[in-house]
Structure 1
Amino acid sequence: MKQLKNFPYSSALVVGLAKSGFAAAELLQNSGVKTVVNDLNADEDSEQAVSLKDAGVSLVTGSHPFELLDKAEILVKNPGIPYENEMISEALRREIPVITEVELVSYLHEGKVIGITGSNGKTTTTTLVHRMLEADRKGVYVAGNIGEVACEVAQRTSPEDIMVIELSSFQLLGTINLHVDIAVWLNLFDSHLDYHKTRNNYISAKAKILQNQTSKDKFIYNRNDSTVSPFHQNTFAESVPFTLSYEETGASADTAFIYFNGEIVAEREKIVLVGEHNIQNCLAAVAACKSVGVSNDAIQSVLYSFQGVAHRLQYVDYKHGRYFYNDSKATNIRATSYALEAFEKPVVLLAGGLDRGNSFDELSPYLAGVKRLVLFGETASKLEILAKSLDIPFIRVKSMDEAVTKAYDASEDDEVILLSPACASWDQYRTFEERGDEFINAVLNL
C-alpha cells in the first residue's frame, strides 16, 4: 500500500465511517497520520471498525464531541454529510481545513487524472472514457462517484497510469489541491439545492474541477450549455468544446458522423446508446480520449457496442410485446426529460420519490408521448396534479411490483415501460440502485 507523499498534516479527524471514510482513515493511519474516526451510528464491532482499531485508529461513536477537533489539523468528511453538521461547522469556525477523500489523490497519484463532472451523464461518460482508454492501452483505472473509492484506487497506480474519476459536486467542494489534467464538465442543471442551498453555490462547487489547472491541461466543456460554456474563458487550461452541431474544433456531430477537430471518428447510426443526451456524453468522451491520443478504432469499438450503465436508461427486457427500460438513476427532472426524449414509441412512465420541495412543471413539455403515469413515493401527489393539468391518465401505487403490473396492464404491444423517477430514492429505498434492481426483478417476474 502506497503512503501519502508530502502530506502536510500530522493528525486527522475522519467524520463518517462509510466506504470513503474507511478508505481515508486506513490510508491516513498507514501514512503515519494520527487518525480518529467519528460516526454517530457506526457499529464498533463491524469488520471495518475492528480493522481500523487494530491498525491504531481511534473510533468515537454515538455523538460528535467537539474535543475531537482540539488535536485535529484536518477533517476528512463523507461527501454526503452537509456542512451544517455540527462537527463540520465547528471545524470551519476553527479554520480547520475540511476535505473529502478524493483530495487525498493529490498526495498519491503521479500520473494523469481525467476528472468528469456534470449534473447528468457523469457515470455514462466516465464509463465510456474508461473503456475507450482500456481498448487502447494498459494502465487505466476508474474511480470516484462511479464506485471504487478514489484514494484506494490511487494506491495501485504508477506515474505512467491514467485515473478516470467521476466527481460529484459533494466531492469537489471538499478539494483544495486536487489537480485534474483533463477536466470534463458535461452540463449544469438545478440539482442538490437542498445540500448547496443556492444555484451559485452549486455552480461554484462544480467549477472547483478547474481550480488547479494550468496551460498544460485541457478543459472539455459543453458549448451548448449556457452555464458551463462561459467557464472556458476563466481557465488557464486549453479549452476543447463539444457540441451537437458540426464544428472544425473539438468534438462535434451531424446526422451522420461524430468528428474531432473536423476528422470523422465514428458513424452515428452504429452507436448503440439512445437519445441526444447520450450523443453529448459520447462527444465528451471522444474529446477526452482524443486529447490523450486514443485511436479511432478503440473509440469505435466502444461506441458501437456499449449499451449503457446499470440504472441509466438501461435496457432490461422485451417481454410480452413491451420494451422495459430502467432509468432509476434519473433523480432529477432534467434526467427524466432526457429519457423521455430518447423514445419515439408511446411510453408508460413510472415516476416519483423523495420530495425535495420542487414542482414538476419543467417536465410538462416532455410528456407529450406519455400515455399514462404510474406514480409512487412522496411526490406522487405533486405528479398527480401535473398529470391532471395535462390530461394524462395516472395510477398511484404503493410498491414496485404493483407499479410494473399496472404499467403492463395500461400498455399495449410495441410500447415502452420506463422507470425514470425524476426524484431521489431515499423516501422508499436506500439507493437508486436498490430501486432499479427492484424494478428489474419485477419485470423479470412479470
Structure 2
Amino acid sequence: MSKLADFPYYRILVLGLAKSGTAAARALLQHGKQVRINDKSAKPEDRLIKELEDLGAEVFYGDHPLEALNNMEIVVKNPGISYDHPIVREAISKNIPVITEVELAYYLTESPIIGITGSNGKTTTTTLITKMIESSGIPVKVAGNIGIVATDVALSIDEDTTMVLELSSFQLQGTEKFRPNIAVLLNIYEAHLDYHKTFENYTAAKCNIFKNQTEEDYVVFNADDPIIMNEISHAKGRLVPFSVKNMTEDGAYISSGKIYFRGEEIIHVDDVVLVGNHNLENILAAVAAAKLRGAENEAIRNVLATFSGVKHRLQYVETIEGRKFYNDSKATNILATQKALASFTQPVILLAGGLDRGNEFTDLIPYLKNVKGMVLFGQTKGKLQQIAEQVHIPYILAENVEQAAEQAFHMSVEGDVILLSPACASWDQYRTFEERGDMFIQAVHRLM
C-alpha cells in the first residue's frame, strides 16, 4: 500500500509535462486527485493530452496564465522549470507549495530508498550501488536523474524492492517530506548557479537529501569535502563517512592499496577496473551504501572487477591508429572536466565547449598540463580560446562535436588520448548531453 493516502493535497497543478510531469499526472489521477495541467507546448489534438483528459485532467493550453493556479493547493513542477517562472513565483508568493515528482514518488512507495546526490559522480555511484545490490540477490530498481522517472518505478515495485534514486539539485529543491533510508552525499562544488542563483541555495538543495532523516536512517558522506563537513552537523541520521585520504573506522576508506568498510577488507585497488582517481570516491560511497543495504562482499568485488563505467562518463570508445578516444559528454561543468583530465597521464587532445552559463574557465588551467591541443566548439569556444592562448596550447575552432572529433584526430599522433569533456551543458547545440555524446561516438566510428 502506498503512502499517497498521507499526501495532504487534493487539487494539484502539474506544471510542465515531459516524462516526469506526465508520470506525476497519471499517478495522481489514478489515485483520485483533481489534476490541472499547464504545458506551453500542449495541443488539444495531442494523443497524450487526450489520454490525460480522458483520465479526468483539466488542461490549460498555450501560455502560462496565472489563472492556472486558481483553487490549487500545490504545484508539481518539472525539475527543469526555473523558480523564476511566473506561475512558480506566484505560487510561492501565495504560500502554495512547489514540489517535484521525486517528492510524489516518496509518497507512492513503502520501499526502502537509497538517494544519491553530488555535484559530480552521481550516475556512476548510482549504477555501482544498483549493481552491487542486484548481484547480491536483493530486488532493486534504479530511477531518478539517471533518466528513469521515479514515479513510474515507485508505482511498479513492492515494498521488498529497494529503490535507488539519482537526485539532482533541481529535484531535491522541490522536496518537503522526502526521506531516503540511506542518503549518499558525494561532493558539493559550485554548479547550476544560473538556476539556484547562489551557492548557498545550491548547497541547501543538495542537503535536502538528509534534512528529513531520523536516527533510524544513514547518511553516507564525503569526509574529504570541506563544504559537506560544514553541513553534515545538521544531519540526524547515523553518519557513515568515506575518505580517500584518511582511515574512517565507521565507514569506507583505503589503506595499503586496499578498500575497506568498517575495518573489513573488500578489494585491492589494483583489481578495480574503473579508471580515474576521482572514481575512488564514488567507489567508496557505493561500497558503504551497498554494505548498509546488505550487499555481499563477493558481489561487490565482482562488480568492481568488471564495471568499466557508464555511457558518456569517461567512456572508452575506440582506439584508431594508436589514438584512444574517450566520451565524457556528461562533463557538463568545469569540475567534471578537471577530474577527467586528472585521470590521464598521456598527452591529451581536449574537445570542449557548449552552453554559455556565464562561467569563466580559469579553474581549468592547472589541469591542462598534459593537454597538447584543444578543439573548441559551441557558445563558449571564444572563452576557451582565451584560456588556450593564455597557456600557449594550440587550438582549433570547430562548428560542432562531430567536426571536432575529426579535427582532433588530424591534430593527434599515436599514443594520444582524444577526450570529449566539454565542461559545459549541451543545450546550445544538442538536446541532451547523451545526444552530444552519441554524435561524438558516431563521428569516431566514421573515422575508422
How far apart are residue 233 of structure 1 and its match?
1.8
Residue number in structure 1 paired with 2:29 = 29
1:220 alignment partner AA: V
Residue number in structure 2 paired with 1:245 = 245
CA RMSD of aligned residues (A): 1.3
Q: Is the 8 A contact 1:98 1:174 kept in 2?
A: yes
Which secondary structure state, in structure 1, belongs to the residue aligned with residue 346 of structure 2? coil
Residue number in structure 2 paired with 1:390 = 391
CA offsets 1:105-132 (integer angstroms, 9 cap, x no match): 2221112110000000000000000010
State whether structure 2 residue 423 is matched by structure 1 residue 418: no
Q: Is the 8 A contact 2:3 2:109 kept in 1?
A: no
Q: How do residues 248-287 of structure 1 correspond to structure 2 at under 5 angstroms?
A: 248-254=249-255, 256-287=257-288
Which secondary structure state, in structure 1, belongs to the residue aligned with residue 4 of structure 2? coil
TM-score, normalised with respect to structure 2: 0.97
How far apart are residue 2 of structure 1 and its match?
6.5
Residue number in structure 2 paired with 1:230 = 230
How far apart are residue 3 of structure 1 and its match?
8.2
Residue number in structure 2 paired with 1:350 = 351
Residue number in structure 2 paired with 1:187 = 187
Residue number in structure 2 paired with 1:112 = 112
State whether structure 2 residue 151 is matched by structure 1 residue 151: yes
1:134 alignment partner AA: E
Q: 1:128 and 1:280 mapped to 2: Cα distance?
A: 12
Residue number in structure 2 paired with 1:434 = 435
Residue number in structure 1 paired with 2:138 = 138
Q: How do residues 201-350 of structure 1 correspond to structure 2 at under 5 angstroms?
A: 201-247=201-247, 248-254=249-255, 256-350=257-351
Residue number in structure 1 paired with 2:164 = 164
Q: 2:5 and 2:299 mapped to 1: Cα distance?
A: 34
Q: 1:381 and 1:40 mapped to 2: Cα distance?
A: 34
Is the deviation greater in 248-257 or in 147-156?
248-257
Structure 1, unpaired ranges of 5+: none
State whether structure 2 residue 57 is matched by structure 1 residue 48: no
2:158 alignment partner AA: S
Q: Is the 8 A contact 2:113 2:180 kept in 1?
A: yes
CA offsets 1:258-299 (integer angstroms, 9 cap, x no match): 110121101111111111111110000001011122111010
2:170 alignment partner AA: F
Q: Is the 8 A contact 2:2 2:109 kept in 1?
A: no
Q: How do residues 64-143 of structure 1 correspond to structure 2 at under 5 angstroms?
A: 64-143=64-143
User: Between Structure 1 and Structure 2, how many residues are aligned?
Assistant: 446
Which secondary structure state, in structure 2, belongs to the residue aligned with residue 4 of structure 1? helix
Q: Is the 8 A contact 2:334 2:364 kept in 1?
A: yes
Which secondary structure state, in structure 2, belongs to the residue aligned with residue 80 of structure 1? coil
Q: Is the 8 A contact 1:3 1:31 kept in 2?
A: no
CA offsets 1:278-326 (integer angstroms, 9 cap, x no match): 1110000001011122111010111111111111111111122110000
CA offsets 1:113-172 (integer angstroms, 9 cap, x no match): 100000000000000000100001232111100011111100112222211001100000
Q: 2:153 and 2:364 mapped to 1: Cα distance?
A: 39
2:348 alignment partner AA: V
Q: 2:333 and 2:403 mapped to 1: Cα distance?
A: 23
Find runs of 4+ consecutive structure 1 residues off by over 3 angstroms.
none
Q: 1:413 and 1:361 mapped to 2: Cα distance?
A: 29
Q: 2:218 and 2:61 mapped to 1: Cα distance?
A: 43
1:412 alignment partner AA: V
TM-score, normalised with respect to structure 1: 0.98
Q: 1:309 and 1:187 mapped to 2: Cα distance?
A: 19
**Residue identity (%):** 52
CA offsets 1:215-254 (integer angstroms, 9 cap, x no match): 1111110011100123332111110111003513310013
1:289 alignment partner AA: A
Is the deviation greater in 422-431 or in 238-247?
238-247
